[in-house]
Amino acid sequence: MQSAKAIPQQGERIQKVLARGGIGSRREIEGWITEGRIKLNGKTAHLGDCLKPGDHIHVNGRPIVWEKYAEQPTRVLVYHKPVGEVVSRKDPQNRPTVFTRLPKLQVGRWINVGRLDINTSGLLLFTNNGELANRLMHPSSVIDREYAVRVLGDVKDEVIERLKAGIELEDGPAKFNDVQFYGGEGANKWYHVTVSEGRNRMVRRLWEAVQITVSRLMRIRYGPIILPEGVKVQSHYEMTPKELDKLLEFVGLPKQTPIFKPDEADKQPWKKRF
């Protein structure tokens, strides 16, 4: 892969530069510009404005050293979230958050790709690339999320068909794209279900709508990314350059600067996950 290019002399769009540094997604930053929350060289910025060498920018009154984002490589973490952690930077109830377990970034910030509620465990993605996060989350991307679900009691075939056909929830119709039985003994049964939306508690609410109790819920896949078997709860795995290339290609973004040396990449435990 080739190194990321520096900001050209004619400039780059504000939202593109700031999204690269993890300040937010392009869509979010465009909203901030429209709301007048971004100033360029002391004046309110407008959509279409570009950053050029020597420019100064403030977001919500805070100065941003944006030049360092010109060479900012994309990084992606696969985190194994436990039950009991919240997907928030700070929690008013002082509950543990997923961000406390992540490595520190010298530039930018980690952005969570979607959310998992406090009682759901499993795969949670983080990246420092706001545009990548936006493409992975945006409804237009229609990216599958797969969950392992433990339910109480037997589930009849007609109930499965209802869940796949669609059920009206309080925020609109929803369905499982696929439902597969994965075994179980006694009262507990395991299923794998797939959805292509990220609505709040959607998987649980669909089961509840057919009077089935979920006793455990774990996300095991997000698009092409599978939770690696070797990644224990409360630990993470950083994607290798080859894996990152495939993910960027999957969402239609160009390849980025490598974040590992080749010999370091060879030592990574996650092999052939794509």
For the chain, domain boundaries: 12-71, 76-139+225-253, 144-222
What CATH code would you report for 76-139+225-253?
A: 3.30.2350.10
Residue 127 bridge partners (DSSP):
76, 111
Asked if domains 76-139+225-253 and 144-222 share a fold, the reply is yes
Q: Which residues contact 83 (CB under 8 A, 6 or more apart)?
A: 118, 119, 120, 121
d(CA 240, CA 111): 18
**HSE of 108 in the Cβ direction (CA atoms, 13 Å)?**
25
Instruction: Give the whole-angstrom CA distance, residue 129 versus residue 111.
Output: 8
In the CATH hierarchy, which fold is given to the domain comprising 144-222? Pseudouridine synthase (3.30.2350)
The CATH homologous superfamily to which domain 12-71 belongs is RNA-binding S4 domain (3.10.290.10)
pTM for this structure? 0.75
> Would you write out the chain's pLDDT as a tens digit for each of its 274 residues?
333 344 455 678 899 888 877 788 888 899 999 999 999 999 999 999 999 888 999 999 999 988 877 667 889 999 999 999 999 988 899 999 999 999 998 777 899 999 999 999 999 999 988 889 989 998 888 899 999 999 998 899 999 999 999 999 999 999 999 999 998 777 899 999 999 988 889 999 999 999 999 999 999 999 999 999 889 999 999 999 999 999 999 999 888 754 444 334 334 444 334 4
| Angle subtended at Cα 25 by Cα 22 and Cα 26, rounded to the nearest 5 degrees | 120
Question: Which two structure tokens, joined as six digits, stand for 82?
Answer: 């436990």
Contact 196, 206 (CB under 8 A): no
pLDDT for the residue numbered 214? 94
Catalytic residues: 117
